[in-house]
Amino acid sequence: MSLVLNLVSFGLRQAIGDVVGEAANQVTTFIEQHYRDHSQTLPAALAQANANAWKTLAVALAGDSFCDQVKRFFTT
């Protein structure tokens, strides 16, 4: 949870008390879901796509050599 959400949560608990702490948690969850920091979403998605591309290339290269080995096995 970010610093801002911690401060909002703390302020809500101070304002409405610990008895209604569940309501403060629900408000904090709502704020976290709707106002989250998306500055790292694109770099993370690009890093994941890069990793997947390398995995795909590795499988494609390994698959070609495997198919070649199977062809050689059955032709010899």
State if pTM tops 0.85: no
Based on its alpha-carbon atoms, the radius of gyration of the chain, rounded to whole angstroms, reads: 26
Percent pLDDT > 70 in the chain is 79
Q: Are 63 and 40 in contact (CB under 8 A)?
A: no
9-46 residue pLDDT tens: 777 777 766 656 667 677 777 777 777 667 778 899 99
With a cut of 60, say whether residue 56 has pLDDT above it. yes
CA pair distance 44, 31, nearest whole angstrom: 22
Confidence of residue 48 (pLDDT cuts 50, 70, 90): very high
Q: Could you tell me the residue ranges of all domains in the chain? A: 1-37, 39-76
Specify the amino acid at residue 57. Answer: L
Helix or strand or coil: residue 1?
Answer: coil
